[in-house]
Each structure stands twice: as structure tokens, then as C-alpha cells.
Structure 1
Amino acid sequence: MTKLGLEAKDLEPTRTIFHSIVSGFSCSPIGRIRLDLFGDSSHFRREPIWFEVVDLSSAYHALLDRPALAKFMAVPHYAYLKIKLPGPKGLITVTDDYRKSIESARDGAKLAESLVVAEERRQLDRIVALAQEASTAPIPAEDPADKTSFKPSKETKKVKLNPEDPSCSKYVVMGSRLDNK
């Protein structure tokens, strides 16, 4: 915004929300603005287009969606950090700086990591608070052991695990009233 000579008062309100710019997080733009040129003062193309303005560190100055690319008949090439589109005096090429892109991507990764760490810390604090609440809550009296607890049968028998192997010394204990099945 600053490089374009724009100020916050030039922005219009927006209700757009960007999801998963950083995995699992949402971001609301600070506003939107309609700009209508591509190129420099000697060779440009006017096509009015709305831009959502977001206060984030990013490797990109602008993100164009497919309708915008179609409107400009633009061809982006991500590996070369270029976008080309037809203009009144021939081809317009918009180029970015690799070093700036790498620095911006690194800063963006640090920002993403700090957001994820902060969210994990909030979740951990919430879990600790729930655990503290649970530890201070009164523990209900246990039910009598006659109906709710497991009781082994008093009538049991030992059965050899492998009856065909006389050297097998492993047994299982089971109820003596069970069927042979």
C-alpha cells in the first residue's frame, strides 16, 4: 500500500475471510481497493480489479485468482517469478526479485510457525485448565461392588494351551461351567 501511495482511508470495508493461509488459521483483510493498471508509466494496461488488502508478511505483493488472470489474459510463471500479459504496445512482463522472494518466504515460514506454536500453547493452556477443574471436582462415591464390578467365577479350571504338546507348561484359567465350544 505504501509503495502505491495508498493509505488506510483509501480502503473500502470487506467481509472476505481467507482460510488456511497458515494451515488451520483464518485471516481477515483490512479492506479492499480497486486498482486499474498493470505495468509502468510508459507501458501499462488498464483493467479495473478489486484487491483484498491483508496485513501479512508474504512472498507475494498480490495474489490474482483465475478470473483476474483470465480478464488480463495473463500467464504466470511461478518458477521465474514473472507474469506476462498483452498490452497496447506489446507484451507486459512483471518480474519479482528472487532474493526478496526467498527472504519473504523465510519470514512467512517463521510467522506461520509462531502462529502454530501460539495456537498449540492456547490449546495446552485450555487442557491444563480443564484438568485442574477436573481435579478439584468432587469424585463421585463408587457403586457397591456387587453389580458394577467384574467378579471372577469361583468355579474355574486350568486348561492346557496346547493339549497335544506334553511339554507345554502354559495354561489358561476359565470358568468350569462354560460349554466345550
Structure 2
Amino acid sequence: MEKLGIKEKKKLLPNRTVFHGIVHGLSCPLIGKIKIDVQFGDKTHFRCEPIWFEMKMSGPKGIITIAGDYQKSLTCAAASSRLVESLVIAEEKHLLDRAVAMASEQPTIPSDPKDAEYQGSFQPAMETKKIALDPAHPE
């Protein structure tokens, strides 16, 4: 922060990002994040944009700097993608198995609703009156 000319720590905002596995057995939160104006281009053609930066994290022996490895990142991303896909497939199979189990528990409904053996769970609360919906077809 000092090298960037930022002297006020109050400009740092809290950040919820946490790294795991960098310090063995511990999780390490970032120091914070800050918005800094960055100028792109040259003296004649330039643009200034505010950009959020996440500040480094502190470790047992001072500030920790992490160097990236793009090949390893791609490998990890592909592996996690396969893991997520397998978890989604497993969850969908579980839901399908539940639906099949629920369907097999349902009583079969006869094709003729007037079937004497079939006893539906619906019972009218009071006396009912039969009304023909279509006079041309009273049945």
C-alpha cells in the first residue's frame, strides 16, 4: 500500500475472499479490497478507469504473494467441472429414483371411475346432487 502511495488504511474495504491451503491447515482472508484509478494508454491516447484490487494477505512471516500457473488453473477448472457435472447427474438420478418410487406407491386408478372396487380418498362434506352437464348426453 505504501508503494502505491495509499497511506490511509480506511480506504481498504472488507473482502469476503478466503484462500485455503496456502498456509497448511489454515484459511487466510485477504487484507481487503480497494478501488484505484488506473490510466491506460499513452500521453496522447489514454483512458482512466477505477478498478477494484484485492490486497495481498498476511501470513506468519509477512505478506504472502501468490504466483499463478495457468496450466494448473486450467487443469483444476476442468477437474472441478467434471466433479460438478457428476454431482448434478447423481442428484438428478436421486430425484428420478424418488419420483419412480412415489409413482409405484400410488394406487392404480381404474379406467372406469364407477368401478365398485375403487374407493377414492375424496368424500363430499355434505349431500350432493347429480346434475347433467350436457342435456344431449345425460350419462
When normalised by structure 2's length, the TM-score is 0.42
When normalised by structure 1's length, the TM-score is 0.34
